Amino acid sequence: MNISVLGCGRWGSFLAWYSDRIGHDVTLWGRVGSHHMDRLLSERRNDYLELPTSIRLTNDVMTAVEGADAIIISINAQQLRSFLRRLRAEGVTDKRFVLCMKGLESGSGKRLSTVFNEELEGNRVAVWVGPGHVQDFIRDIPNCMVISSDDRPLTHELVEIFKSPLIRFYYGRDLIGTEIGAAAKNVVGLAAGILDGLNWSSLKGALMARGTSELSRLIEALGGDRMTVYGLSHLGDYEATLFSAHSNNRRFGENFVRHQPFGKLAEGVDTVTALMNLSAQFDVELPICRAVNNIIHHRKDPRGEIISLFLRSTKEE
């Protein structure tokens, strides 16, 4: 199959590497001026992996899109709408897209598949989410992930295209729950990092128990299956997000509390704003998300917020 990956950061470069490894003909696109792409073009490597010479690199998005049997998008979630408008202006149609990114549109709270369908009609879309770190996959440590779409035949097509002994895929049956769960786990990851930064890591057990509970209520309010939160897109990704040294969201939260800089993308920072919008729209209390939002965006005292969240009030479990 001809597979194109649009986005050349940590995850995009891995997806190109992985697609090549399992036998596909791969093109990797990065925008002009991207320092990620500039390094790949000059060295064919980044901080995580080395790309084989069989992978084509290009700055021309239509070179990547034309002739592709499946197109993976792996960019900053907040850039998705403007990027899709660019593809629409180029007349892209009748293609299979996979969104390999986790987040919600910050201003609207919309899921990424909703943004896709609003901006790029005439194409089919699925999401690919779940646990796993590039650093583990390139060491041949396998994991399980999920592909989900409202288009069930597309889900099955994509699982057949991308399955391998390294990644076992499950068919996602609840797109709403899958997307909300995948996006929200990054916010829980921020909270885990905040606990680490305060040296209160033992509270992660309470964080996991309460995090799944509050997100299940939101998923149900949005029309999804509240049990999806206990699957691979959310709870199944907690180890990789709440505990791993490789987790950007956990590390961002830890560094934030310790007043240390962190220069890598942490999608949870924008996602928590979107979740607070959804909390207001659907009248669903999201206390963990609210605490994280207060700490990061309103500069509230982390210790006070965490004490208020976990230790002060008595509630029924």
- 154, 69 Cβ separation under 8 angstroms: no
Strand order in the sheet with 143-148: 56-58, 25-29, 2-6, 70-73, 96-99, 124-129, 143-148, 167-172
Domain boundary among 172, 188, 222: 172
**Across 152-181, average pLDDT:** 98
What local confidence, expressed as pLDDT, does residue 313 receive? 56
Task: Establish whether 95 is a catalytic residue.
Answer: no
Q: Based on the domain organization, do 146 and 191 belong to the same domain? A: no
Please choose, from the candidates 64, 32, 30, 33, the residue with its C-alpha nearest in 3D space to the C-alpha of residue 44. 30
What local confidence, expressed as pLDDT, does residue 1 receive? 96
Domain boundary among 172, 204, 228: 172
CATH of the domain at 302: 1.10.1040.10
304 pLDDT above the threshold of 70 = yes
**Across 222-231, average pLDDT:** 97
Q: Based on the domain organization, do 133 and 200 belong to the same domain? A: no
d(CA 11, CA 167): 14
What local confidence, expressed as pLDDT, does residue 314 receive? 57
Q: Based on the domain organization, do 67 and 89 belong to the same domain? A: yes
* Residue 45 binned pLDDT confidence (cut-offs 50, 70, 90): very high
267-286 pLDDT tens trace: 999 999 999 999 999 999 99
Q: Based on the domain organization, do 14 and 129 belong to the same domain? A: yes
CATH of the domain at 153: 3.40.50.720
Tell me the one-letter amino acid at 142.
Answer: P
**Across 171-195, average pLDDT:** 97
Q: Based on the domain organization, do 184 and 251 belong to the same domain? A: yes
Measured between alpha carbons, how far is residue 248 from residues 59, 70, 100, 222, 240 in Å?
Answer: 26, 28, 16, 28, 10
What local confidence, expressed as pLDDT, does residue 237 receive? 93
Domain boundary among 138, 154, 172: 172
What local confidence, expressed as pLDDT, does residue 265 receive? 82
Q: Based on the domain organization, do 10 and 75 belong to the same domain? A: yes
Per the structure, the count of domains in the chain is 2
Q: Based on the domain organization, do 28 and 125 belong to the same domain? A: yes
Mean per-residue pLDDT over the chain, rounded:
95
Catalytic residue among 102, 185, 204, 264, which? 185
Which residues span the domain enclosing 133?
A: 2-172
For residue 317, being part of any structural domain is answered with: no
72 pLDDT above the threshold of 90 = yes
d(CA 124, CA 22): 23
For residue 287, being part of any structural domain is answered with: yes
